Amino acid sequence: MSNQSVWQLVMKPKIEGREHKPYQWFFTKEVNGSVLLLLAAVSAACLANSKFHEMYEHLLHLNISFSFSTFTYSSSLQHFINDGLMALFFFTVGLEIKREILVGELATPKMALLPIIGAAGGMLVPGLIYVAFNYGKPSISGWGIPVATDIAFSLGVIAMLGRNLPLGLRIFLSTFAIADDLGAVLVIALFYTNSIAMNFLAASLICTLILVIANLLYIRSITFYVVVGFFTWACVLGSGVHATIAGVVVAMLVPARGKYDMVRFIGIVRYITEKMQTNRDVDGQWFSIFIKPEHLNNVQELESACHDVAPPLQRMEHALLPSVTFGILPLFAFFNAGVSFQNMSMTAVVSNPVTLGCFLGLFVGKPIGISLASYVAVRMGVATLPFNVSWHHIAGAGMLGGIGFTMSLFIAGLSFTDTYLLNCSKLGIFSGSILSALAGLAFLGFYVFRDRRIYEEV
């Protein structure tokens, strides 16, 4: 590749035919959020083991409280991020899952079966590995830690390999990660709920019923779903079920249809544009919209038509995704990734069953579970490999599935209250995720290089 080509790729990236400055390009790429995640995690680990560790601990336990009518919420800043802000992350995950189920890679059983089976194997084997190390110990509660995959980091590694990988592999990994997220949500809901307050649970069910009725009545107001969604979150939080589940439940009830379909939208646009009569003497000037108020009315009608044709699900997903990717997730990483090894024996931490269970579950269990389950599904004839995808591609994707990070850290926080065990789990998550990313990158990169050489020789 020439220097000029490198300059065009790196310094002058283009999006949809338009040139953007590097920082604009960065913030339009979801996978680049993984860079901020990594920086936040490294910063937290450095602070936790520096002379500023007391300041970091004080920040984690800073009290946050607010009240609304009879409802009062009070917790540390760390728990506020985990219980409150992360509900928005799970809300966007729910929106993405619903979209994929309706019109994406999960829309038909044939398209979805291979990544779903792969995700199931990728959850089962790591969980069993963790149980094997921690059976009969109090730390058994952390079995859900290595079952999750971090979609942002996984796709970020895929992006580093450019367009040299088959499209089918990208689709497989994306769909697998979404199915894995759904499985992780079910694990949290079913196995990480300690006690239930029936009155709050009943109130959350009433809120859910209101959302269902709103769908049936064809209500498309985003404000309505935001308000009712907030009350649903508050009720779920009070019930004892983890509040992030409310994010997924509300997301599943956000309408996926606009006010009208594309045929009617095109008709409305054509009608509005036909009304916009132009006068070259005036309309060529920037102030023409002030001279002719009807122009402004027509523009506003067009804006309203574009707003109404877009489904609330899509509008909310696009509005929330940048804030979640570049705000909430790095905050979560910063407040949860601080592993402190002060006054701790590294030998004891590394050999701890929690550390080994998390590390081997992610680094070894994920690729074995994903590859084996996918192989069995294809051999039994219940699924087929995507076009132009071979088994070494699936094995590489399985390695990338071992990048647990965000979801694993989240489940670790639910699993342990003991600081020592929590730090052990974080060490296992970090080491397993980093080595999985490096192994997947090297493995897939080798085959990309090999295939390119074969192509050039032919």
DSSP per-residue codes, 294-329: HHHHHHHHHHHHHHHHS-HHHHHHHHHHHHIIIIIH
The candidate with the shortest Cα–Cα distance to 121, out of 438, 397, 352, is 397
The candidate with the shortest Cα–Cα distance to 30, out of 233, 324, 360, is 324
pLDDT at residue 345 in the model: 79
Looking at the structure, do residues 293 and 426 belong to the same domain, yes or no? no
Q: What average pLDDT does range 164-186 have in this prediction? A: 77
SS (H, E, C) 220-270: CCHHHHHHHHHHHHHHHHHHCCCCHHHHHHHHHCCCCCCCCCHHHHHHHHH
pLDDT at residue 6 in the model: 36
**Which residue type occupies 356?**
L
The last residue of a domain, from among 308, 341, 376: 308
Rounded to whole angstroms, the Cα distance separating 3 from 94 reads 43
Rounded to whole angstroms, the Cα distance separating 226 from 258 reads 17
DSSP 385: P
pLDDT at residue 1 in the model: 43
Looking at the structure, do residues 285 and 395 belong to the same domain, yes or no? no
pLDDT in tens, 300-322: 777 777 777 778 888 888 888 88
Selection from 9-13, 103-107, 295-299 with the highest mean pLDDT: 295-299
pLDDT at residue 407 in the model: 82
Q: Which of 148-152, 353-357, 379-383 has the lowest mean pLDDT?
A: 148-152
Rounded to whole angstroms, the Cα distance separating 409 from 139 reads 15
Rounded to whole angstroms, the Cα distance separating 256 from 263 reads 17
3-state DSSP assignment of residue 17: coil
Looking at the structure, do residues 189 and 223 belong to the same domain, yes or no? yes
pLDDT at residue 283 in the model: 52
CATH of the domain at 110: 1.20.1530.10
pLDDT at residue 206 in the model: 93
The candidate with the shortest Cα–Cα distance to 332, out of 161, 99, 88, 54, is 88
Q: Which of 86-95, 156-165, 209-218 has the lowest mean pLDDT?
A: 156-165
Any domain includes 402: yes
Q: What average pLDDT does range 168-191 have in this prediction? A: 78
pLDDT band of residue 419 (cuts 50, 70, 90) is confident
**Cβ count near 345 (within 10 Å):** 10
Q: Which domain holds residue 121?
A: 62-258+310-457
Residue, of 456 and 375, whose pLDDT is higher: 375
**Which residue type occupies 400?**
L
Looking at the structure, do residues 338 and 328 belong to the same domain, yes or no? yes
Arithmetic mean of pLDDT over the chain: 79
pLDDT at residue 387 in the model: 76
**Cβ count near 65 (within 10 Å):** 9
For residue 29, give both structure tokens. Answer: 């790429």
User: DSSP secondary structure string, 21-34?
Assistant: -HHHHHHT-GGGHH
pLDDT at residue 4 in the model: 42
The total number of structural domains in the chain stands at 2
Q: What average pLDDT does range 239-250 have in this prediction? A: 79
pLDDT in tens, 52-102: 888 888 888 888 777 765 666 677 888 788 778 888 888 887 888 788 778
Looking at the structure, do residues 437 and 447 belong to the same domain, yes or no? yes
pLDDT of 341 over the 60 cut: yes
Any domain includes 21: no
Q: For the whole model, what pTM was predicted?
A: 0.72
Looking at the structure, do residues 88 and 230 belong to the same domain, yes or no? yes
Any domain includes 55: no
pLDDT band of residue 128 (cuts 50, 70, 90) is very high
pLDDT at residue 338 in the model: 79
pLDDT at residue 112 in the model: 76
pLDDT band of residue 177 (cuts 50, 70, 90) is confident
Task: Find out whether 126 and 399 touch, Cβ atoms under 8 Å.
Answer: no
pLDDT of 146 over the 50 cut: yes
pLDDT band of residue 10 (cuts 50, 70, 90) is very low
Residue keyed to tokens 């591609």:
393
Q: Give me the torsion for CA of 241, 242, 247, 249, rounded to 10°.
A: -30
Rounded to whole angstroms, the Cα distance separating 11 from 9 reads 6
The candidate with the shortest Cα–Cα distance to 415, out of 44, 202, 56, 147, is 147
Looking at the structure, do residues 153 and 112 belong to the same domain, yes or no? yes
Can you list the positions of beta strands (E) in 31-140? 63-68, 71-76
Any domain includes 49: no
pLDDT at residue 9 in the model: 38
b/e string for 130-161 if b means 16 or more Cβ within 10 A? beebbeeeebbbbbbbbbbbbbbbbbbbbbeb
